[in-house]
Structure 1
Amino acid sequence: MFLTSTWAVRKFGIYNRRYMKPKFDKRPKKFYKRRDNRPDRRLQQKDTFPRIVEEIQTLFAGTKTRVLGSLEKKVQPSTDAETSDVFLREHVGSSLKLVVLYADLVGSTLMTRNLSVDKLATIIQIFIQEMSFVVASSGGKVLKFVGDAIIAYFPIDVNYSPSCNAAIDCSYSMIIMIEKAINPVISVHGYDGLRLKVGIDTGEHSVIQYVIGEKSYLDILGYGVSMAAKLSSLAKSDEVIISHAISTGMRSSLRKTFCELELDPRIWKYIDDRFQPGVWKSHP
């Protein structure tokens, strides 16, 4: 009967199963279990929301203190809009590539009916103040406030992907900040919780300066800022709607938190195969 030699096993990997067993059969059992026990990388991937919560937890204490001070009229609300004016003045008359974020407060019309003028003003001031801090901490700049909405922008350098990522992180941070830091404080004082909806788009924008009376104002004009406002109108409470350009520019980990939003072309007339083939919405 033929017996395979040890040399043949080493050289050609062949052996007689009846009389010889390969050396790798004698490896410890933990070797075989190594792959089974190895954690699934898909399960190791953390959700975007928990990651952002961890990053902005350091801001929670300051936010709660400011909100409480505003409710008790101990702190004068403040914003960080000066840095935007300085930036825009340096680029008056020029074109800039920007990622624009439009954050709108949900249910503000009902608040005007249910709250007194003073209480409504306090809530709007708190909202504008704290969202401005979130924008600044995310690397963005506050353009202006439109009633109960805030418009922010993120300048684009050579690669627009970092600005897309920063804008989306900022929108998630806004939602989490309201839920974790603002609502717990204002609810104790008898206010209903705030909710937010966000639209984000990008494009070329012109920086303009105009004068009313004796004061000059700075603003931006472009497709991105117009579409960001329209995209926010599609969002539900605590939802972020982004354009096709933003979805292609953001990092893959963020892309997993979005899905395409089905729209009726008879209602939404801004779908274009070349410039805007679709829009995407955030999902838990």
Structure 2
Amino acid sequence: MSKINESDKPKMSQKDTVSNEQSNPNVLDVLLGKNEQKIVDFDSMILETQKRIWGALKQGYEYVGITDDSEKFLRKNVFAKFDMIALYVDLVGSTTMTLELPEEKLAIIISSFAQEMASVINLHNGYVLKFVGDAVIGYFVASNNGLLAADNALSCAKSMLAVIQKGINPILNQYDYPDLMVKIGADFGQSIVVRYGSNPDVSHVDLMGPAMNIASKIQSLAKPNQILFGDDVYRKLHPNNQILFKEVVWKNNEWKYRSRLSGEIYKVYEYIG
């Protein structure tokens, strides 16, 4: 996004679970924007997740303001172009759950999952673009600081796994429901804000660009609970985070997409922690 005024984005309801780094940054961290990265209090995040999941299963808890900030941002910047990181998170095994669970319980689980993922995106200074079936699409504006956006996207992806494994699944297990697993993919590139219709207030707004498409393709090839980043995102990560990844070696022509710049097969990296 071009210059973003923080006042344009609503304050996060989870702000009490986020704190700035307290350690003194070195020169490299300052240059890379590492000192601006947010640290999530995982214990508080997990506790709040469990409270909401309990509420959803017992009385259909409804979440508030999940996509409002994105809607406002996009409408304010129709036809503008922004460097951004697109992140896709998709629920694994929802077809099996459809066959095994009552419709009303399935709806609550998938809805709660999607909204918890959206909550994690907001917590990490990202925007929630939309829900597509049992997938959630988020984005992190990188026009001002691509390095910070990349690190925030990685922290977001890791938090998603933590929320599912330590927050959602323990509650589902108590009801004998199956564990949830996800596939996460992300890519970096320029996207344009588009509006479908002439009414600035109600016409549908969306994002269009190569990063949105490639992130979707990357996510589709991820394994359960695997985080995959495209090369353009990987190159923007802080060096301390880059060493936590390894390049994916594709077999049997699983991956055919080529770099728009070099023409070579576009590299994808797996987070190994």
TM-score, structure 2 normalization: 0.80
User: Does 1:236 pair with 2:236?
Assistant: no
State the alpha-carbon separation in 1 of the partners of residues 181 and 169 from structure 2: 9
| 3-state SS of 2:115 partner | helix
Aligned partners of 2:43 and 2:196: how far apart in 1? 40
In structure 2, what residue type is equivalent to 1:240?
I
Separation in 2, partners of 1:186, 1:267: 34
3-state SS of the aligned residue for 1:249? coil
Q: Which residue of 2 aligns with 1:274?
A: 262
Is the Cα–Cα contact under 8 Å of residues 50 and 167 in structure 2 kept in the other structure?
A: yes
Q: 5 Å matches for 1:220-235?
A: 220-235=207-222
Residue matched to 1:122: 108
Letter in 2 for 1:103: V
Deviates further, 111-120 or 206-215: 206-215
Query: Could you give the per-residue CA deviations for residues 217-267 of structure 1, whole angstroms, max 9, x where no partner exists?
Result: 110000001111100111111111111111111012211221110114733
**Aligned partners of 2:208, 2:122: CA distance in 1, in Å?**
21
Q: Look up the match of 1:249.
A: 236
- Relative to 1, partners in 2 of residues 1:68 and 1:86: Cα closer, same or farther, differing over 3 Å? same
| Aligned residue pair count | 233
Q: Structure 1's 212 and 109: CA in aligned 2 closer, same or farther, altered over 3 A?
A: farther
Give the greater-gyration-radius structure (CA). Answer: 1
Pick from 31, 37, 58 the counterpart of residue 72 of structure 1: 58
Q: CA deviation at 1:63?
A: 1.1
Moved over 6 A (4+): none
Shift of 1:149: 0.4
Identity %: 32
Question: Take 1:78 and 1:122, find their aligned partners in 2: how far apart are those partners?
Answer: 15
Give the conservation status (yes or no) of the 8 Å contact 2:98–2:106: yes
Q: Distance in 2 between matches of 1:97 and 1:206?
A: 9
Task: Give the whole-Å Cα distance in 2 for the aligned partners of 1:78 and 1:115.
Answer: 26
Q: Which of 77, 83, 92 is the equivalent residue of 2:69?
A: 83
Question: Helix, strand or coil for the counterpart of 1:72?
Answer: helix
Offset from partner CA, 1:11-69 (integer Å, 9 cap, x none) = xxxxxxxxxxxxxxxxxxxxxxxxxxxxxxxxxxxxxxxxx997322112211111000
Instruction: Provide the C-alpha distance between the structure 1 equivalents of 2:106 and 2:39, rounded to a whole number of angstroms.
Output: 28
Match of 1:107 among 83, 93, 117: 93
In the TM superposition, 1:13-92 aligns within 5 A as 55-73=41-59, 75-92=61-78
Q: Is the 8 A contact 2:190 2:209 kept in 1?
A: yes
Distance 1:79 1:264, change over 3 A: farther
User: What is the one-letter code of the residue matched to 2:205?
Assistant: L
Query: Post-superposition shift, 1:74?
Result: 5.0
Distance, in Å, in 2 between the alignment partners of 1:174 and 1:157 is 24
Distance 1:79 1:263 in 2: 40
Q: Could you list the runs of 5+ residues in structure 2 that have no partner in the other structure? A: 1-37
Contact 1:79–1:128 (8 Å) recurs in 2 = no
Shift of 1:211: 4.0
Pair 1:76–1:266, CA change in 2 (3 A): closer
Output the CA distance in 2 between the equivalents of 1:187 and 1:266. Answer: 38
Question: What is the aligned partner in structure 2 of residue 175 from structure 1?
Answer: 161
* Cα separation, partners in 2 of 1:74 and 1:199, compared to 1, 3 Å: closer
Q: Structure 2 counterpart of 1:269, which letter?
A: K
Q: 1:147-162 maps to which residues of 2 (within 5 A)?
A: 147-162=133-148
Matched-pair contact (CA < 8 Å) for 2:84–2:143: no
| Conservation of the 8 A alpha-carbon contact between 2:82 and 2:143 | no
Instruction: Using the TM superposition, give the Cα deviation of residue 78 of structure 1 relative to its aligned residue in structure 2, in angstroms.
Output: 3.7
Q: Is the 1:202–1:224 contact (alpha carbons within 8 Å) kept by the matching residues of 2?
A: yes
Q: How far apart, CA to CA, are the structure 2 residues paired with 1:54 and 1:92?
A: 32
Gaps of 5+ in 1: 1-51
Residues 211/123 of structure 1: CA separation in 2 closer, same or farther (3 Å cut): farther
1:150, 1:54 → 2: CA distance? 20
